[in-house]
Structure 1
């Protein structure tokens, strides 16, 4: 039995037919349920763990939002606190989500995994789960795109004495054994975890990837506020210069910690963090790194300055009053490229893999996936009638996989479902005349 409102038991749901089954009970799935309830459409949300469990179980202790609180705009549940330009910490995020869960009061079947989705010749979907089989006219896949943690085979060759974990398993510096910590990857999670360890006084070795970075504040405001005014967050994917290619981009690293600030890996290096390029191999007891640290740091800084230059242009074009512009200049430079690190001599006691996740939609039997395993869709609507996706990065806009844009996407998908159901009723009535 769920601890959340409106629980559904396997016994009460088993074998039933629904107009819509939603696979996934995170903020995306619950947002779909919100609009389905408004439309009076019967449905079931199926969640393999508990609703919004990722926020509770796969975030480190000091985790906080990297976008300001005002962007928390789940449907019917905008941010209600007194710090719209602050950054909610983990416990505050959970409180926010708990309020949303209670408000939506979705029909949820928890601790139930969807194992197979297939559309029959009659257009009805069979949805097999660990709690039995259901049928539905429409299926909305709201399980996100981050399913299988990426850990390279190289991990198998590290000494057994080294503790290894994926970023979703990290909680705090205190939970790691003594010794230096190797963090592999410098995207949002990697950069923030490296910062968390660094602030805790741990020796950190960071394998720096190609992730870009951005400023937290620029010319008197949060960069997110500027970009919102510039319309960036309303830009649909088909208008982005990269088109669908933007979905493959790594998120910019920045932090909301302690009121928000830049993450400057160069400054960390000046304070003792060891930076290397991309981790490539392990040979004869030594880690092998690509000689691309200098290029990776420069590329991240170039993106930082390019975003700020765009803000400068916007301010000038609109005649706005703001503090003067500035340009980031490196506070530290590598003396050269270091490409090897002896594992034993380095004192590394733990490794945190922060190189992302792979999607796993193998349970969906439908011809909608490309060669990389991602679904082909237009704003979440696939070429297969009755099958939809939601909550994926850049499904429609930048905010599609975030609190800020999920409402718009869920409303759109549910409107398509409602129209399809109404058309079916009208066709049935016409045929019966």
Structure 2
């Protein structure tokens, strides 16, 4: 390849980068996509064997490439997800260069022209405009307290977990009860492994209610069209944990109380590690109660929506807890005495945009933007959680964001647009339920 300058260069070949590539291709705009690994790398390498989507397949709506399989109400596994992404890229001949990492991005001026310069593992490239589509989950978080664990104890991050058989013999401690932590703990538990789970403040949601998947109700209620600036938390929602639920076994709730009644050991937040002993907070009951309250509040909002719209829907009883934490709470765990031989850290990721040498970031390192358009003309971000709506970093909403950014690229100007998507239902009570107390 001899061409080193492009009108547009896209960094990242995941669903976001491919979506903007599709939109640019439709508009006849010459561009190139750099992908550090292979298309679908994160889905292929950073998900466990039994992983599947937590949203129904019908929500997979990449540009001009919606899910057309035989199970729209089902939940694709990781291999099907990779195939879906690869088929999407092939459908329009995405100009992707795989195996090329971008190590530096800056603005340069040469011969009175200002452009972007990208230092990559394949050489130096320049572009008039750049789209950063690498998401926001870059560096796995493992706290410094992990250094205090015994040296013979196996430690991995959740993205390294593959299956129960890959873990050492003995009990497993999972730290973190977000979507990944809860699903991994269940995967181990179902396989017959003894599991200990640190439960934090992540909310939960029911899989189905009153005849529909809750995702379908939320879709009808307009939640997935709600722009971030209309959310009660505004930009703060970008840092909130997602509600835990699963698409496994055809889709069902994740009920930690049920798992506890079956033998899974639950604890509150991890506070400290001293001499092989884990110390937990006394907040297990509070965390379980709040997660249940959020789930039930969402149901209340659905009830309200059904009543206001006069929708015919079956009724069903509300959730009844099957298990309650002991009192007083268990606040210590001796790793050796409990035969714990491995720890899985599942407390998330942090973003790393340190390779971008352009002053568009806030004090926390988050890029300042309006719907992906930054204050630096020609620089855009795509695929970030809640970039514009809940679906911005997902298969369900990235197409809308990509079309918007492509329009800005085509116009070659950064302007504030007022073409907000109308929300078909106010959903105020539902929103309050979703953010929890």
Which one of 348, 353, 357 corresponds to residue 345 of structure 2?
353
Task: Tell me, in whole angstroms, the C-alpha distance in 1 between the residues paired with 2:414 and 2:264.
Answer: 60
| RMSD of aligned alpha carbons | 1.4
Which one of 281, 291, 304 corresponds to residue 290 of structure 1?
281
Return the TM-score normalized by structure 1. 0.93
Tell me, yes or no, if the aligned pair for 1:33 and 1:104 is still in contact at 8 Å: no
Task: Tell me, in whole angstroms, the C-alpha distance in 2 between the residues paired with 1:355 and 1:175.
Answer: 20
Task: Tell me, in whole angstroms, the C-alpha distance in 2 between the residues paired with 1:368 and 1:97.
Answer: 30
Helix, strand or coil at the partner of 2:218: helix
Task: Tell me, in whole angstroms, the C-alpha distance in 1 between the residues paired with 2:222 and 2:316.
Answer: 21
Equivalent in the alignment of 2:140: 149
Which one of 90, 94, 104 corresponds to residue 78 of structure 2?
90
Whether 1:225 and 2:225 are equivalent positions in the alignment is no
Offset, 1:422: 13
Task: Tell me, in whole angstroms, the C-alpha distance in 1 between the residues paired with 2:330 and 2:361.
Answer: 40
Equivalent in the alignment of 1:181: 172
Helix, strand or coil at the partner of 2:114: coil
Offset, 1:48: 1.0
Greater shift in the superposed pair: 62-71 or 320-329: 320-329
Which one of 387, 391, 398 corresponds to residue 395 of structure 1?
387
Which one of 241, 244, 250 corresponds to residue 232 of structure 2?
241
Whether 1:123 and 2:114 are equivalent positions in the alignment is yes
Give CA-to-partner distance per residue, 1:89-116, whole Å, 9 cap, x none.
Answer: 1222122122112113111121111111
Tell me, yes or no, if the aligned pair for 2:207 and 2:253 is still in contact at 8 Å: yes
Helix, strand or coil at the partner of 2:347: coil
Helix, strand or coil at the partner of 1:344: coil
Tell me, yes or no, if the aligned pair for 1:312 and 1:325 is still in contact at 8 Å: no
Task: Tell me, in whole angstroms, the C-alpha distance in 1 between the residues paired with 2:101 and 2:80.
Answer: 28
Offset, 1:119: 1.3
Whether 1:75 and 2:67 are equivalent positions in the alignment is no
Offset, 1:338: 1.2
Tell me, yes or no, if the aligned pair for 1:254 and 1:261 is still in contact at 8 Å: yes
Task: Tell me, in whole angstroms, the C-alpha distance in 2 between the residues paired with 1:275 and 1:35.
Answer: 47
Offset, 1:326: 3.2
Equivalent in the alignment of 2:399: 407
Helix, strand or coil at the partner of 2:412: helix
Tell me, yes or no, if the aligned pair for 1:391 and 1:400 is still in contact at 8 Å: yes
Tell me, yes or no, if the aligned pair for 2:383 and 2:393 is still in contact at 8 Å: yes
Return the TM-score normalized by structure 2. 0.92
Helix, strand or coil at the partner of 1:138: strand
Tell me, yes or no, if the aligned pair for 2:378 and 2:414 is still in contact at 8 Å: no
Equivalent in the alignment of 2:45: 57
Offset, 1:325: 4.6
Deviant stretches of 4+, over 4 Å: none
Give CA-to-partner distance per residue, 1:57-96, whole Å, 9 cap, x none.
Answer: 1110000110000000111210011111111112221221
Task: Tell me, in whole angstroms, the C-alpha distance in 2 between the residues paired with 1:138 and 1:93.
Answer: 30
Aligned length: 411
Alignment of 1:357-368 (within 5 A): 357-368=349-360
Task: Tell me, in whole angstroms, the C-alpha distance in 2 between the residues paired with 1:147 and 1:369.
Answer: 16
Alignment of 1:194-233 (within 5 A): 194-233=185-224
Which consecutive unaligned segments of at least 5 residues does structure 1 have? 1-10, 424-433
